[in-house]
């Protein structure tokens, strides 16, 4: 595991693994980042407390693969056994942009739409983008390259830009 600073706003379960080449930027404003038991944060993943006051909670046995970016924004809650494929972006924040007399980068952020919530046993495909207000149900799959900004029910498969339902996971034999 990399030399992740152990400060009050950052907790990493002792059984979690964080690559030496991953980057975790703890908050200077008290935003909490927690990485659960058995989770793995691979090289070049970035977890950054920025863009709001939401916390980042990563459940147990999750895989945050290379080049994923998680910005705290309005908050991120990831359940257990979740796999984020390479290049997934989780961005629960939106810049304010209404005024023309002030550069967008200086206008702050829009009110939260609820952050990003990912249920247990979810697979998010490579390069997908999860925006503020996204809630992904248990067992769901998000296709590679999808842009999600809404509610994905349990066990549904969503893909496209904007993402929409493209299928449903099959039932287990005997269920």
* Residue of 29, 95, 99, 165 marked catalytic: 95
Termini Cα distance of the chain: 40
Which H helix or E strand runs over 168? strand 164-168
The tokens for 104 are: 């967008």
Give yes or no: 95 in active site. yes
Strands 156-159, 164-168: pairing is antiparallel
CB atoms within 10 A of CB 150: 14
Any idea which residue has 């983008």 for tokens? Answer: 129
The residues facing 47 across adjacent strands are 24, 70
- What positions carry a catalytic annotation? 95
């Amino acid at each position: 595991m990399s030399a992740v600073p152990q400060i009050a706003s950052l907790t990493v379960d002792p059984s979690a693994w964080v690559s030496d080449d991953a980057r975790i930027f703890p908050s200077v404003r008290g935003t909490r980042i927690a990485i659960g038991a058995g989770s793995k944060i691979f090289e070049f993943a970035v977890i950054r407390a920025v863009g709001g006051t939401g916390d980042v909670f990563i459940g147990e046995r999750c895989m945050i693969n290379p080049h994923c970016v998680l910005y705290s924004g309005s908050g991120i809650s990831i359940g257990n056994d979740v796999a984020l494929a390479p290049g997934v972006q989780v961005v629960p924040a939106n810049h304010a942009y209404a005024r023309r007399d002030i550069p967008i980068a200086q206008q702050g952020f829009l009110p939260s739409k609820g952050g990003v919530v990912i249920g247990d046993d979810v697979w998010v495909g490579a390069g997908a983008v999860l925006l503020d207000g996204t809630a992904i149900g248990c067992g769901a799959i998000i296709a590679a390259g999808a842009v999600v900004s809404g509610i994905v029910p349990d066990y549904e498969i969503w893909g496209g830009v904007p993402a929409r339902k493209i299928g449903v996971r099959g039932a287990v034999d005997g269920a």
